[in-house]
Amino acid sequence: MSRFIINRRKFLTLAGVAASTVPLSGCDVFDGFLSSQSPVRDFLASANGLTYRAHRALIGADTLAPEFAASEIRQGQRPNGSTDPTDADYLALKDTAFANYRLTVGGLVEKPVSLSLDELRNMPARTQITRHDCVEGWSCIAKWTGVQLSRVLDEAKVKAEARFVVFHCYDSMNLGLQGAVPYYESIDLIDARHPQTILAYGNNDKPLPVANGAPLRVRIERQLGYKMAKYIKGIELVSTLAPFGSGKGGFWEDLGYEWYGGI
């Protein structure tokens, strides 16, 4: 009694529904709303503030990122971004194996300090095997050795009005018409004082390679890779991020990436 019949009207309806999906699949109709200057994009990006506050409410200030067994280190740490800076002051340091390197800590501190690599290595060290997550989507597990940023901050005595730590870097990224733009990054004081936030000078039991940020890079284990500035020149304690770059708190942030890189 049952026959598979699709009459003309049903066929036309079906064809109509199929045809209506064609303009939808041309995703470029939305492009105008999504350019970097668009208020629609700015509005959508406001959800990132909600994510940041939700994470701060949900994740304890000192809750650790997962650490892994030595057997999970199955490859070298994959480098990304700048891997061999050609900036003159960096090349001069590299030529002398970073013997003349000094990390400066300034801004809103009681006692600005400047530390050599040996001085940093002589401070209590922390070693952790953690997973590096790139914003692109890949992950890589490696061992990192360094001094906790909180110890360096305590030497410099952070003033009460400081809200952010800014990392100034030796490497520049080429942005075409804008020319070379120096890399910089920033984090809040919760992540700055997190036990796993270290200024790393060692990777997989060797001195930090140039490709991974020699002589000093920061590890911020609860955020994505672009937050973890390499080739650190100096640390500045600030109350606002407005004076730096385009004021969004980092090189990639100025190009549209979210400041909070915990997702």
Shortest reach from residue 139's CB to another protein, in Å: 4
Q: Which residues of 178-209 are buried (b: 16+ CB within 10 A; e: fewer)?
A: eeeebbbbbbebebbbbbbbbbbbbbbeeebe
The CA-atom distances, in angstroms, between 127 and each of 165, 205, 227 are 22, 9, 19
Q: According to CB under 8 A, which one of 97, 175, 180, 263 is a site residue for another protein?
A: 263
Q: According to CB under 8 A, which one of 108, 125, 135, 189 is a site residue for another protein?
A: 135
Burial of 27 (0-12, 13-18, 19+ CB in 10 A): exposed
Q: Is 256 among the residues that bind another protein (CB under 8 A)?
A: yes
Tokens, residue 25:
């699949």
Shortest reach from residue 217's CB to another protein, in Å: 17
Q: Is 19 among the residues that bind another protein (CB under 8 A)?
A: no
Q: According to CB under 8 A, which one of 109, 140, 210, 218 is a site residue for another protein?
A: 140
Q: Is 39 among the residues that bind another protein (CB under 8 A)?
A: no
Shortest reach from residue 164's CB to another protein, in Å: 18
Q: Which long-range contacts (CB under 8 A, 24 or more apart) does 249-252 make?
A: 249/164, 249/185, 249/186, 250/184, 250/185, 250/186, 250/226, 251/173, 251/181, 251/182, 251/183, 251/184, 251/185, 251/226, 252/135, 252/226
Q: Is 86 among the residues that bind another protein (CB under 8 A)?
A: no
* Residues 255/189, Cβ–Cβ less than 8 Å: no
Q: How many CB atoms lie within 10 A of CB 173?
A: 16
Number of shown-chain residues binding another protein (CB under 8 A): 65
Q: Is 27 among the residues that bind another protein (CB under 8 A)?
A: yes
Q: Footprint of another protein on residues 50-69 (CB under 8 A)?
A: 50-51, 55, 58-60, 63-66, 68
Stretch near another protein under the rule CB under 8 A, chosen from 91-99, 178-186, 201-209, 252-260: 252-260
Q: Is 189 among the residues that bind another protein (CB under 8 A)?
A: no
* Residues of this chain that bind another protein (CB under 8 A): 1-7, 9-10, 13-14, 17, 24-28, 30-31, 34-36, 41, 44-45, 47-48, 50-51, 55, 58-60, 63-66, 68, 72, 74-76, 78, 131, 133-141, 221-224, 252, 255-258, 261-263
